[in-house]
């Protein structure tokens, strides 16, 4: 699913980019997204992990603070064997789902970089960044959403 824009009722009047529906991530699971963001007019990779726990969603940049590798040890495999913490697949560092703080491993005490998310009309939206939009011949559909709550 390509990100679409939800302009109405975005937090603090900013733009909320729809990255997926709540139903695309089962509760107590995580999913990675490889997006592009725009900083100072330059497009840069923006890899994030989204964790869904019931109606709550948590987002983090998909980079371990220990050595900058992606967390998933296989595609979309982010959680420890018990399914209650994010885990770096390279060194086994464990991170709290709700805070991103490393509680065990080589980066203990450090944190994942949070990504601001909102749930709008049952869609998970990333906010606080400008995402690069794909150039298409057809005009991209813009989604208007009202705040439903449940975001971070």
Strand order in the sheet with 4-6: 4-6, 16-21, 123-126, 117-120
Using a 10 angstrom Cβ sphere, with 0-12 exposed, 13-18 middle and 19 or more buried, the burial of residue 120 is buried
Q: Give mean pLDDT, residues 85-111.
A: 95
Supply the mean pLDDT for the chain.
84
The alpha-helical segments, DSSP class H, found in the chain are none
pTM: predicted TM-score of the whole model, two decimal places: 0.81
The predicted pLDDT at position 141 comes to: 43
User: What was the pLDDT predicted at 128?
Assistant: 92
Which residues, listed in sequence order, are joined to residue 64 by a DSSP beta bridge? none
pLDDT digits (tens, 9 = 90+) for 105-115: 999 999 999 99
What six digits make up the tokens of 46? Answer: 């923006």
Residue 90 in contact with residue 69, Cβ under 8 Å?
A: yes
Q: For the chain, what's the residue count?
A: 152
Provide the 8-state DSSP code for 143.
B
């Amino acid at each position: 699913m390509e990100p679409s824009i939800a302009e109405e009722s975005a937090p603090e009047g900013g733009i909320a980019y729809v990255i997926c529906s709540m139903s695309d991530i089962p509760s107590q699971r995580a999913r990675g997204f490889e997006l592009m963001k725009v900083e100072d007019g330059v497009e840069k990779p923006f890899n994030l992990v989204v964790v869904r726990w019931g109606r709550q969603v948590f987002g983090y940049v998909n980079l371990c603070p220990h050595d900058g590798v992606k967390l998933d040890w296989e595609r979309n495999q982010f959680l420890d064997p018990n399914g209650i913490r994010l885990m770096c697949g390279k060194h086994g560092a464990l991170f709290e789902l709700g805070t991103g703080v490393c509680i065990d491993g080589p980066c203990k005490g450090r944190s994942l970089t949070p990504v601001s998310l909102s749930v709008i009309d049952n869609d998970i939206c990333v906010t606080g960044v400008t995402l690069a939009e794909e150039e298409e011949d057809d005009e991209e559909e813009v989604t208007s959403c009202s705040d439903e709550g449940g975001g971070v």
